[in-house]
Amino acid sequence: MAQARTQPSAPPVLEGREAPWPCWIDVDLDAIEANVRGLRAWIGPRVRLFAVVKAHAYGLGSEQVAKTVLAAGADGLAVARVREGIRLRRYGVRAPILLLTAFAPSEALALARHGLTPTVTLPEQVPLLIEAAQQVGVRLPVHVKVDTGLHRYGAGRDEALALALAVARSPHLRLEGFYTHFATADALDLTFAREQLATFRAACDELARQGVRPPVLHAANSAGTLALPEAHADLVRVGLAVYGYRATQAVPTPFPLQPAVTLWARIARLLDLPAGCTVGYGRTYRTTRPMRAALLTIGYADGLPGSHYRGGYVLLHGQRADLIGRISMDQCVVDITHCPQTRVGDCAVVLGQQGDDLIALDEFAERSGSIPHEALTSLGARVPRLYWRGGQVVASASLAAEERVDGDL
């Protein structure tokens, strides 16, 4: 994994005071901008870049991320839900927004009104979009997705060709794109990914023989963008790499990725534990020696998986502090016997870099049998996100609809 840039090893001070939250996420907008610029240089000027900001921009907050990636050179955005696209429009985003997954019949009119670009995989979707386009008075751009082996959202080859022709022939729709999605572009063996790409190109050739040439052909996700330059086509759809991460160690990094996330938690209590003392629910952990411990105000509701009590740790004063006992919904306990300088109010890094040590996202995810995408999107909605640019906090947000407290940013 590419190394993160140096992160603060002490609690950040905001406007002369320490951050007031039990736990919070620092989002480095400079890192996101650098990743977009690196991707732009990698794919070249003729390939468009759509940043995938579904699921609240992978849990980081879609408003600030969308503004940052577009300012850094992204040509458009991609989402998975109609409401995600509408939210971005209400934020003031005017760039193209591609809807990657299915829409309900009742959502067709809304997506047309808000200028979203739907992906079509079923014949019955075409008349719905035609009717919506007529009501809004627009010629609606549409992408058709062909399934080349992922067997998820996508039409079989013959169905996709028929759909593309139907869209192209409609005076109310415009066949803007034709695409597919890789199943194994993050694997060490790229044989199947290349087979998918060949299948996709054959389908594109067949469309061309029938006189239909969509202006935008695309296949590459983050892994495909980094590992398969031959798959760049007209557009790449990049999610995880925008945030500074890769899906697996097999994915190459042709330029340095800069991780954008640091997850912090504050110490609320210090404990002196005798030998033979149990910690946490179920009494699953028993001390074998006298121990100094600290209570951290973060739990599984905040994105620290409960499975991390087996071998997990945090970074405190640049050192590793092991998690002990089961992780609770809002709290956990760590061994700080080797950190005698620790005080109530100190902060630990749960994910990210502190000093010379790093808890990388892939390591964090693997400990719970997960993947980086899931780990990011599982960060708790109630955890405040602080957006940093140029060493300063420029915005803050929570994904949960919580009441603000006097003095909050």
Check if the beta carbon of residue 353 is closer than 8 Å to that of residue 9: no
Count Cα neighbours of 35 within 13 Å in the Cβ-side half-sphere: 30
Check if the beta carbon of residue 97 is closer than 8 Å to that of residue 89: yes
Separation in Å, CA 346 to CA 203, 226, 296, 318, 336:
58, 39, 10, 12, 12
CA distance 43 to 53: 19
**For strand 235-238 and strand 332-335, is the pairing parallel, antiparallel, or unpaired?**
unpaired
Q: Is 281 a catalytic residue?
A: yes
Check if the beta carbon of residue 320 is closer than 8 Å to that of residue 313: yes
Compute φ and ψ for 287, nearest 5 degrees.
-70, 140
Q: Hey, which residues does 51 pair with through a beta bridge?
A: 77, 238
Determine the residue type at 159: E
Catalytic residue among 54, 145, 179, 309: 54
Catalytic residue among 179, 281, 309, 387: 281
Compute φ and ψ for 390, nearest 5 degrees.
60, 30
Q: Is 67 a catalytic residue?
A: no
User: Where does 130-280 show beta strands of DSSP type E?
Assistant: 140-145, 173-179, 216-220, 235-238, 261-273, 278-279
| Residues annotated catalytic, as ranges | 54, 281
